[in-house]
Every structure is written in structure tokens, then in C-alpha cells.
Amino acid sequence: MPPEADDRTAGLPETSADVSGLPAANPSAHSRLSGEFTVVVVLGEIDMATAGALAEHLDAATARPQPQVLVDLRSADFFDCSGLRLLCRADSRAKERGGALRLVSDQPRIHRLLRASGLLKRFPPLPDLPPPSGADSASEPPPTGVSGPKTNQSRRRR
């Protein structure tokens, strides 16, 4: 197997800490700015051995005043209690600074993990990333999982 086969950062966008204040991409995570949000994309397996690489991104994302952080778990292959501990710590840091942390996941196993750990109410996952705050919301449908205005069609007829 060639050495680059294990390089999960190959092809990821370069992130310059000098410009954005975000850490460089690593095999466990990369971060980017999207409108008002800092998006931390979790990659591969998060366990005791790799949690430090994710912590670097979560710490940077929650260091600002009023951080708005989205943690995208859709590319996570494995996520254990080490990752949950980091999410709880990052969520507390974001709230202390007047911000918020939300999870993005469409994976049933992530939902089961959150439910089994009692964290589903603290971290109700979004199925997809919301549009950037500059998007014209009048011309775009609401993001998946966000209901729009109720209509008479949604009511059951008797």
C-alpha cells in the first residue's frame, strides 16, 4: 500500500492558521468557516488515540467570543466516549463564551450513541449543514429536518 493511502488529509482544503485562526487539517479533523459558523469536520475514527487531534480543532473553534460551532460527524467511521467527552467540554466552553455547539449527523449509530449516553437532548443532531447566514432564505427551501410554515395540507381530514 502506498504511503499516501493512509493520509486522510489528502485532498482536504489547506487551512492557514495565520489567516483564519483555525488549526491545520489532520487525519482526524479539519475546520473551515462557513458564514457565522466554524465547521469542524470529524474524519475516520475518534478514540483515545486520536482524540487529541480533534480536541485541537474544537478548542480553536470555541476560543472566540460567542462561538457558533457545527461539528460534522457524517464522515466519522468510529466515535467513542473519548469523542463524547470532547464534545461535552467544547459545548461547555462555547456556552461559557455566549455561543453554541451543534452536531450534524445523519448516522443512526451516532444517534444511538447519543441516546445511550443520555446526551441526545443536549446534542440533538441536525441532518445537514444549515445554509451560510448570507444565503437568500426566501428563495431557498428550509434545510432538511427544519419544518417550514404549517399548511392546511398537513392536517388530517376527517
Distance CA 38, CA 65 (A): 12
pLDDT at 2 (0 to 100): 41
Instruction: For the chain, count helices (H), then strands (E).
Output: 4, 6
Instruction: Name the residue among 1, 99, 83 with its Cα closest to residue 49.
Output: 83
| Residue 147 confidence (pLDDT) above 70 | no
| Residue 25 confidence (pLDDT) above 50 | yes
Distance CA 66, CA 38 (A): 11
| Residue 151 confidence (pLDDT) above 90 | no
| CATH architecture of the domain covering 16-129 | 2-Layer Sandwich (3.30)
Q: Name the pTM for this structure.
A: 0.73
